[in-house]
Amino acid sequence: MTKQAKSPTLRYDEGCLAAHALNLIGDRWALLVVRELMFAPKRFQMIRAGLPGITASVLTGRLTQMEQAGVLTHDTRLGVYALTNPGRALLPVLQALCRWALTIPGHDPSRFISPSALMISMGVMLRRDRAAGLDARAGFDFGSEAFEMQLTNGVLDTRLVIEVNAPFVLSGTGNTLAAAVYGKRPLHQMISQGDIAVQSDVDAAQAFVDLFQLSA
């Protein structure tokens, strides 16, 4: 007889696959923890920084449950949490939720946006018609985290980096850079008003962010 993996307390006593999935990652904060780990392993405090509404005790409990569910691993020696392959496979779920949320009124972009949240949303909101056949590399510096985006023939690849090496780098918070990407103000105006900074080619940066649009 094979030994069954330990799992969180069953909340839905059903054979439905959706109910099974929700038993594993349906608790509050669980999918947002996945979001914060999607691009790289992180320590506890780094995860919490991307979830400003969560308490330390709730995050500890959620991480324990998700480890038991096989969604993430915890390297106690290094003190880092990392997604497993099943955890990383939740990216399309997060992307689908972004698309679905655009169809429901009430989204408030003035509320906190983490760097990982913006990076995932940009993967969804890329205008494929405009990006087809284009190659470009962009950098995003949030202070505590930095990312590079590589656009190759309309396909976007995003990764967390220690040092950005791109033709241009946009710097700011998750909220100000979301406004730069999705808002109506041109980058030159946002720079002059002190909302963001752009290193190197501002015109190339403007052309890049123009490839993204919040639309269902």
How confident is the model over 195-212, as pLDDT tens digits? 999 999 999 999 999 999
Mean pLDDT value across residues 154-171 = 95
Mean pLDDT value across residues 157-179 = 96
For 145-159, what is each residue's pLDDT tens digit?
999 999 998 899 999
Question: Per-residue confidence at 134, pLDDT binned at 50, 70, 90?
Answer: very high
Specify the 3-state DSSP secondary structure of 55.
coil
Mean pLDDT value across residues 127-148 = 95
Residue 105 DSSP code: T
Question: Per-residue confidence at 121, pLDDT binned at 50, 70, 90?
Answer: very high
Q: Does domain 17-89 have CATH number 1.10.10.10?
A: yes
Angular region, 63: left φ>0, alpha ψ -120 to 50, beta rest: alpha
Mean pLDDT value across residues 98-104 = 95
pLDDT of residue 215: 81
Q: Is the pLDDT of residue 10 over 90?
A: no
Statement: the pTM of the whole predicted model exceeds 0.75: yes
Angle between helices 56-68 and 30-37 (to 10 degrees): 80
pLDDT of residue 9: 55
Mean pLDDT value across residues 17-31 = 94
Mean pLDDT value across residues 79-107 = 96
pLDDT of residue 2: 38
What rounded mean pLDDT belongs to the chain? 93
Architecture of domain 106-209: 2-Layer Sandwich (3.30)
Question: Per-residue confidence at 1, pLDDT binned at 50, 70, 90?
Answer: very low
Q: Is the pLDDT of residue 8 over 70?
A: no
Residue ranges covered by each domain of the chain: 17-89, 106-209
Strands in the chain per DSSP E: 42-43, 72-75, 80-83, 135-141, 146-152, 155-161, 168-171, 197-200
Mean pLDDT value across residues 95-117 = 95
**What gap in Å lies between CA 57 and CA 28, rounded to an integer?**
13
Please state, for a pLDDT cut of 90, what percent of the chain lies above it.
Answer: 92
